[in-house]
């Protein structure tokens, strides 16, 4: 059974938990009790505004009602399978997760842990190869050892050596041994503190996203007018992550000043979370509206919305994933995302109805826009960034949605012209696209 088909069961469970009658809930959200009954028994698919309305009535996060956790887990399980190539029955991932959810969660957790450890390993390797402090310390030690070895060999060799030279070489060995002691001590001190280095492991963007994810990417203190510098400092992040967080919060504070929460929330609901309509209604800039939509408080019953930002190279520098639309930082995302199309058409908003591959075949409405950031100067390249807002389960449109994926390695669209690398074995072999 597809994980997405269990939304109704969760709605029923939450309604019963709260002691609400089916008829009362149905009336509040404007549907008939019989229709709600069909939903609760997983006989009607549900998403978008109705799911958000039910979440609001049941006072739960929309993402909790949707099958976010399971979908994210399935994506992680498929990514884990990618590391073993053809040896894993990827086409049976959902079956495994449905029958053994505990094992599925374990696989996903282990995959995350392995990725984190690999990142730490990469940092340590880079540190050994490129750290100037370590290279300097090692150079000092090896130079002193070389001098001592060469000088001592002369002294113990069979040839007679003049007394003045003997005295000179003894002094050299003495001075080099002192130097060796000092440089060894410095090296040991340096090597004894790897944890300090590893605290900064993971890209600063991931660290910042981890921090923001704890509050659903809604920072109440910034909404209340707090100083971004103070909030960033109090977050307890270190090094580059603190600086990245400060920059993110600075932009956040600017967005709050331009679009205060209460009025924005009301307009967003009224205009069904359409960023273009909201921007027009509030006379606001589209990128600010897109960011504000992704910053809406998750406990207020809004539909889950993802946001991803990339720079001109396509590197993802901000990720707020949405259930079913995992955004992989490592290994490269799907080149068919409108996020990347926007890079070649700066200032031109792109609205695109997209669909993930079967078996989930989940649909999303994407809004993308690329614009220069920072100063725009003559005779100097502009820093271009592209942003994409992702809304799940849009209403059916007249035209067929564009087929996209998450990442080539786990994408079953074998005939895709934009494919970078083959999919792992099992993906796509038995899947109808």
Partner 1 sequence: MGKRVLLIEDEPNIIEAISFILSRDGWTVHTHEDGTSAMSKVLAMPPDMIILDVMLPGRSGFDILRDLRGHEVTKSTPVMMLTARGQDKDRELAMRLGASLFMTKPFSNEEVRNHVRNLMEA
Which is closer to partner 1, CB of 145 or CB of 317?
A: 145
Q: In the structure encoding, which two tokens stand for residue 215, read together?
A: 């509050």
Least distance (Å) between residue 159 CB and partner 1: 7
* Residue listed under structure tokens 């001098």: 147
Which is closer to partner 1, CB of 166 or CB of 270?
A: 166
Beta strands, E only, 213-295: none
Strand 316-320 versus strand 350-355 pairing type: unpaired
Round to whole Å and give the CA distance between 386 and 384. Answer: 7
Least distance (Å) between residue 139 CB and partner 1: 5
Which is closer to partner 1, CB of 138 or CB of 317?
A: 138
Which is closer to partner 1, CB of 112 or CB of 168?
A: 168
* C-alpha of 201 from chain center: 15
Least distance (Å) between residue 119 CB and partner 1: 23
Which is closer to partner 1, CB of 141 or CB of 361?
A: 141
CA atoms within 13 A on the CB side of 232: 20
Least distance (Å) between residue 404 CB and partner 1: 40
Least distance (Å) between residue 129 CB and partner 1: 8
Which is closer to partner 1, CB of 37 or CB of 172?
A: 172
Least distance (Å) between residue 166 CB and partner 1: 11
Q: Is the peptide bond before 359 cis (omega within 30 degrees of 0)?
A: yes
CA angle 183, 189, 194 (to 5 degrees): 130
The one-character DSSP state at 5 is G
Which residues contact partner 1 (rule: CB under 8 A)?
A: 135, 138-139, 142-143, 145-147, 149-151, 153-154, 157, 159, 165, 168-169, 172, 175-176
SS3 51: helix
The one-character DSSP state at 330 is S
The answer to whether the beta carbons of residues 7 and 304 sit under 8 Å apart is no
SS3 348: coil
Round to whole Å and give the CA distance between 129 and 120. Answer: 14
Least distance (Å) between residue 342 CB and partner 1: 39
Which is closer to partner 1, CB of 168 or CB of 247?
A: 168
Contacts of 130 (CB under 8 A, 6+ apart): none
Round to whole Å and give the CA distance between 356 and 363. Answer: 6
Task: Using the CB atoms, write b or e for 91-130: b if 16+ within 10 Å.
Answer: bebbebbbeeeeebbebbeebeeebeeebeeebeeeeeee
Q: In the structure encoding, which two tokens stand for residue 347, read together?
A: 């200032």
Which is closer to partner 1, CB of 153 or CB of 344?
A: 153
Q: What is the largest CA-CA distance in the chain?
A: 109
Which is closer to partner 1, CB of 151 or CB of 360?
A: 151
Least distance (Å) between residue 169 CB and partner 1: 8
């Amino acid at each position: 059974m597809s994980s997405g088909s269990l939304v109704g069961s969760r709605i029923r469970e939450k309604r019963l938990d709260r002691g609400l009658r089916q008829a009362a809930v149905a009336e509040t959200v404007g549907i008939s009790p019989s229709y709600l009954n069909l939903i609760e028994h997983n006989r009607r698919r549900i998403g978008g505004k109705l799911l958000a309305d039910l979440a609001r009535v049941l006072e739960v996060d929309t993402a909790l009602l949707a099958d976010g956790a399971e979908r994210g887990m399935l994506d992680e399980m498929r990514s884990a399978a990618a590391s073993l190539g053809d040896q894993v029955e990827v086409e049976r991932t959902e079956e495994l997760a449905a029958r053994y959810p505990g094992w599925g969660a374990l696989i996903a957790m282990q995959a995350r842990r392995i990725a984190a450890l690999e990142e730490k390993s990469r940092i340590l390797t880079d540190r050994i190869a490129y750290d100037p402090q370590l290279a300097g310390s090692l150079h000092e030690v090896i130079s002193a050892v070389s001098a001592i070895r060469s000088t001592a060999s002369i002294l113990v060799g069979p040839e007679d050596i003049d007394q003045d030279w003997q005295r000179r070489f003894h002094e050299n060995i003495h001075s080099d041994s002192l130097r060796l002691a000092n440089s060894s001590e410095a090296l040991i001190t340096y090597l004894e503190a790897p944890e300090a280095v590893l605290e900064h492991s993971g890209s600063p963007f991931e660290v910042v996203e981890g921090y923001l994810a704890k509050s659903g990417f809604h920072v109440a203190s910034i909404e209340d007018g707090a100083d971004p510098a103070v909030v960033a400092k109090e977050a307890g992040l270190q090094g580059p992550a603190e600086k990245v967080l400060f920059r993110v919060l600075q932009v956040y504070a600017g967005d709050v000043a331009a679009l205060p929460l209460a009025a924005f929330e009301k307009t967003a609901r009224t205009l069904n979370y359409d960023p273009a309509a909201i921007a027009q209604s509030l006379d606001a800039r589209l990128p600010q509206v897109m960011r504000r939509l992704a910053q809406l408080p998750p406990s207020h019953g809004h539909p889950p919305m993802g946001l991803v930002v990339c720079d001109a190279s396509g590197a993802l520098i901000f990720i707020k994933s949405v259930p079913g639309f995992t955004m992989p930082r490592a290994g490269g995302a799907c080149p068919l995302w409108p996020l990347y199309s926007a890079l070649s058409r700066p200032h031109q908003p792109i609205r695109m109805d997209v669909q993930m591959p079967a078996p989930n075949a989940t649909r999303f409405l994407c809004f993308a826009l690329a614009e220069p950031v920072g100063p725009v100067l003559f005779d100097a390249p502009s820093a271009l960034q592209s942003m994409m807002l992702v809304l799940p389960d849009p209403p059916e449109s007249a035209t067929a949605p564009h087929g996209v994926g998450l990442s080539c390695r786990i994408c079953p669209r074998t005939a895709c012209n934009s494919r970078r690398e083959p999919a792992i074995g099992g993906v796509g072999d038995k899947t109808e696209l």
